């Protein structure tokens, strides 16, 4: 199989070569392309420990496990002995042993750093040896347009110039809005510039301040601080820092979300003011007491409730001024164990790479496999094109507020938060969340009355009265469901602070099924390491009949197709093929037959045992003639007991992210969250709901 090889090389020092390289890998994964990563030679920074940073970052959130690069001291030994050809042979051997056939390989060149004058020489040799196309990575660094072009052109000259066949183009990293006198570096295309034809601008990556925020634990390690109260030091991030040695009344404005507060350890007034701010839900990053002082036990006891809210407290021996000066030399590089920040950087960079260029590599690859990054990327991009209005009844939950902010910023959906506006804005401010005009806040108390009459009319067959309707509408989820039913919003997402039943029950009572459905069922999107699978039904139907099971299979297959997953439906049972007997396996066999007759366009097979459905080696023995066995993407379980148990076992045992349950067969989209859902989970569920709303609209 052919291999595309792209090598990233820097135009100068400090361009962010590693970040761009791992971001390119993520861009390939997002498009469902087979990717590999190879770093020929390690370049550890002072203080680096453990595995190579680039390979560790690539492995985060990916199934790729790149080979470790050649240690720098070994490469330097080859150069010292003038054995560069032998070094290239070693590199080729590692390359061929570590990259996957049929993949597009991102090779990270050597960065231009002090003490490594041979970087460009080696990069040229490696590119020639691996027959790699060259992608230059640069950072404008306040250069003017002509200066930037001149800089890039000179750098390209080291590799044959911008007209050379193997010099593909350039990625601009660390750009800032308004620099070079342009709104966007894309304006370079409109000019008579070097970025044309064979040499292209392949991406422009804006600086994002939030990507530079370290964890409190990283700062504590850097300062050699002792831990007075750990709190949430592993998750809280430092956005800024301040030295507080003035009177309390003069430093209150400094106590804002994400600030690292330095104060002399004997300033009990500032310590208590910081604790009071924490009690008021202002998420201060941490309090650092200086001068070697330890707060007394009595003071710590008095501030105990603030500590319980997660406020980290650190102690250092240096005085406040020395400590703040020391922070100037803090290394902003991303630690390899900071999974959240690594993934944020990868996603940010991948979004900014030219998608048409990335997709051009699909020509040399087989049918794409929808990996979790590709699935999530497709969700977001499709949702952005739909402009749907999604209601979030749990509007005073901080994760929901943050998800709404992200959706507004990225244009994923228009979100309405139900709740008290003053409280929502207070929570947002205390957690450093910006809510722009695209996030609507609606006080439920001001709109409940208008939904009483529609609800009574909808439930008149159940003899619902005004009084009972008013009582039920006091539940914001019920109110939100009625808003969805009458068409005031396009979809509803809830469950971050409520059990699943609280979200699903009102939907089943108030929203009817689609014309082509006789029942409501559900699916989970199970984000396995290398593939996204669809599980149904794991939430709604306890013991479906064969006819109902056939309908669930068809609904689940259509849901998979709507989200870009090629449906290959396995009807799961404890027996494979025709060997088993018993009521349960007979039901699955009958359901398979019904579904195949109703939808001959779908690949549906059963009964299949789970291992025969997912493992090709087992499928070859148990179902050698099946077009689904070993390749299934949609798993339909015979009953709720089996489905719910399996999904939870896979989710917990394999640490799999699951999105859902997504209801299907219902006229309007209502989707549930797990109560431990992350902000990203909520964002992706909002995107799913927006896509589902569009799909339902088109079916009407």
pLDDT at 147: 85
With cut-offs at 50, 70 and 90, classify the pLDDT of residue 557. Answer: very high
pLDDT in tens, 427-467: 998 888 889 888 999 999 999 999 999 999 888 888 888 99
Q: What is the pLDDT of residue 2?
A: 44
Q: What is the pLDDT of residues 330-343, one digit of tens each?
A: 888 888 888 889 98
For the entire predicted model, the pTM comes to 0.70
Cα 633–Cα 102–Cα 171 angle in degrees, nearest 5: 100
Contacts of 157 (CB under 8 A, 6+ apart): none
- Into how many domains does the chain fold? 4
Kind of pairing, strands 657-664 and 521-527? antiparallel
Q: Please give the helix or strand (H or E) that residue 298 lies within, else none.
A: helix 297-302
Q: What is the SS3 string spanning 223-289?
A: HCCEEEECCCCCCCECCEEEECCCCHHHCHHHCCCCEEEEEECCCHHHHHHHHHHHHCCCCCCEEEE
**Claim to verify: residue 459 and residue 479 sit in the same structural domain:** yes
Mean pLDDT, rounded, of the chain: 87
Quote the pLDDT of residue 99.
84
Q: What confidence tens digit (pLDDT) does each residue in 468-506 have? A: 989 999 999 999 999 999 999 999 999 888 888 888 889
**Cβ neighbours, 10 Å, residue 514:** 16
Same domain for 494 and 590, yes or no, is no
56, 71: one domain: yes
pLDDT digits (tens, 9 = 90+) for 99-124: 888 889 999 999 988 777 888 999 99
Q: Which pLDDT value is given to residue 178? A: 56
Q: Is the domain of 176 the same as that of 316?
A: no
CA–CA gap between residue 615 and residue 605 (Å, rounded): 15
Q: Answer yes or no: is 239 within a domain.
A: yes
Domain boundary among 144, 176, 209: 209
> Which residues, in sequence order, are CB contacts of 69 under 8 Å at separation 6+?
39, 40, 41, 42, 52, 54, 55, 94
198 plus 224 within the same structural domain: no
- Boundary residue ending a domain (462, 477, 510): 510
**Quick one: 157 and 231 in the same domain?**
no
401 within a domain of the structure (yes/no): yes
Q: Pick the last residue of a domain from 510, 540, 559.
A: 510
Q: Domain with 604 in it: what CATH number?
A: 3.40.50.10750
pLDDT at 581: 72
Which range (361-365, 439-443, 526-530) has the least confidence? 361-365
Contacts of 115 (CB under 8 A, 6+ apart): none
Regarding whether 529 and 472 lie in a shared domain, the answer is no
Any bridge partners for residue 313, and if so which?
229, 287
CA distance linking residue 153 with residue 159, whole number of Å: 10
Instruction: Based on the fold, state whether residues 147 and 21 are members of the same structural domain.
Output: yes
The answer, yes or no, to whether residue 190 has pLDDT greater than 60, is no
Query: Is residue 592 over pLDDT 80?
Result: yes
**60: pLDDT confidence band, cut at 50, 70 and 90?**
confident
Indicate if 490 and 529 belong to the same structural domain: no
User: 452 and 469 in contact (C-beta within 8 Å)?
Assistant: yes
Question: 34-38, 46-50, 268-272: which has the minimum mean pLDDT?
Answer: 46-50
Q: What does the pLDDT average to over 338-350? A: 90
Domain that holds residue 133: 4-209
* Confidence check: pLDDT of 686 > 60: yes
Does residue 388 sit in the same domain as residue 250? no
CA 695, CA 490: separation in Å to the nearest integer? 11
140, 192: one domain: yes
Q: What percent of the chain has pLDDT over 70?
A: 94
Q: Are residues 440 and 463 in the same domain?
A: yes
Supply the CATH number for residue 226's domain. Answer: 3.40.1390.20
């Amino acid at each position: 199989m052919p291999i595309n090889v792209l090598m990233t090389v820097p135009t100068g020092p400090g361009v962010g070569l590693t970040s761009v390289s791992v971001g390119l890998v993520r861009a390939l994964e997002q498009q469902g392309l087979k990717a590999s990563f190879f770093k020929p030679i390690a370049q550890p920074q002072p203080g680096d420990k453990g595995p190579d940073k680039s390979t560790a970052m690539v492995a985060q959130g990916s199934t790729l496990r790149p080979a470790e690069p050649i240690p720098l001291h070994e490469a330097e030994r080859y150069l010292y002995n003038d054995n560069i050809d032998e070094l290239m042979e070693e590199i080729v051997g590692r390359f061929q042993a570590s990259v996957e056939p049929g993949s597009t390989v991102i090779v990270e060149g050597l960065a231009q750093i002090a003490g490594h004058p041979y970087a460009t020489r080696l990069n040229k040799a490696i590119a020639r040896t691996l027959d790699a196309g060259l992608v230059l990575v640069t950072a404008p660094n306040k250069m003017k347009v002509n200066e930037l072009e001149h800089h890039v052109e000179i750098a390209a000259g080291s590799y044959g110039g911008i007209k050379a066949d193997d010099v593909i183009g350039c990625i601009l990293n660390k750009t800032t809005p308004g620099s070079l006198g342009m709104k966007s570096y894309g304006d370079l295309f409109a000019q008579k510039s070097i970025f044309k034809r064979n040499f292209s601008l392949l991406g422009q990556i804006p600086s994002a301040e939030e990507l530079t925020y370290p964890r409190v634990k990283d700062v504590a390690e850097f300062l050699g601080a002792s831990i007075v109260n750990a709190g949430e030091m592993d998750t809280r991030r430092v956005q800024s820092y301040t030295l507080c040695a003035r009177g309390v009344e003069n430093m209150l404005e400094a106590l804002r979300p994400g600030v690292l507060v330095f104060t002399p350890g004997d300033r009990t007034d500032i310590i208590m003011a910081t604790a009071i701010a924490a009690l008021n839900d202002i998420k201060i990053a941490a309090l650092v007491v200086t001068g070697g002082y330890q707060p007394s036990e009595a003071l710590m006891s008095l501030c105990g409730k603030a500590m319980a809210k997660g406020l980290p407290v650190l102690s250092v021996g240096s005085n406040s001024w020395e400590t703040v000066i020391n922070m100037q030399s803090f290394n902003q590089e991303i630690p390899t164990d900071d999974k959240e920040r690594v993934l944020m950087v990868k996603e940010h960079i991948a979004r900014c790479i030219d998608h048409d260029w990335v997709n051009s590599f699909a020509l040399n690859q087989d049918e794409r496999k929808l990996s979790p990054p590709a699935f999530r990327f497709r969700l977001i991009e499709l949702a952005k094109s739909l402009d749907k209005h999604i209601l979030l009844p749990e509007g005073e939950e901080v994760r929901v507020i943050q998800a709404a902010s992200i959706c507004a910023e990225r244009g994923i959906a228009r979100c309405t938060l139900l709740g008290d506006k003053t409280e929502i804005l207070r929570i947002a401010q205390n957690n450093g969340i910006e809510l722009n005009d695209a996030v609507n806040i609606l006080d439920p108390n001001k709109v409940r009355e208008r939904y009483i009459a529609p609800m009574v009319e909808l439930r008149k067959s159940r003899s619902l009265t005004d009084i009972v309707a008013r009582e039920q509408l006091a539940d914001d989820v019920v109110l939100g469901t009625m808003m969805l039913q009458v068409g005031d919003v396009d979809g509803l997402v809830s469950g971050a602070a409520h059990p699943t039943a609280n979200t699903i029950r009102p939907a089943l009572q108030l929203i009817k099924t689609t014309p082509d459905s006789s029942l409501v069922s559900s699916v989970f999107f199970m984000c396995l390491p290398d593939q996204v699978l669809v599980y149904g039904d794991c939430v709604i139907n306890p013991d479906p009949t064969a006819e109902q099971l056939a309908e669930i299979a068809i609904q689940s297959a259509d849901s998979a197709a709507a989200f870009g997953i090629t449906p290959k439906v396995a009807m799961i049972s404890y027996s494979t093929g025709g060997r088993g007997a018993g009521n349960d396996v007979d039901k699955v066999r009958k359901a398979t037959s019904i579904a195949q007759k109703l939808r001959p366009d779908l690949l549906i097979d059963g009964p299949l045992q789970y291992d025969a459905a997912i493992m090709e080696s087992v499928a070859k023995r148990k179902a050698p003639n099946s077009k689904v066995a070993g390749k299934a993407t949609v798993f339909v379980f015979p009953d709720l007991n089996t489905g719910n148990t399996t999904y939870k076992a896979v989710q917990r045992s394999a640490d799999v992210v699951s999105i859902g349950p997504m209801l299907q067969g219902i006229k309007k989209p209502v989707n549930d969250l797990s109560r431990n859902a992350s902000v990203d989970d909520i964002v992706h569920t909002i995107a799913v709901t927006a896509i589902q709303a569009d799909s339902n609209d088109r079916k009407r």
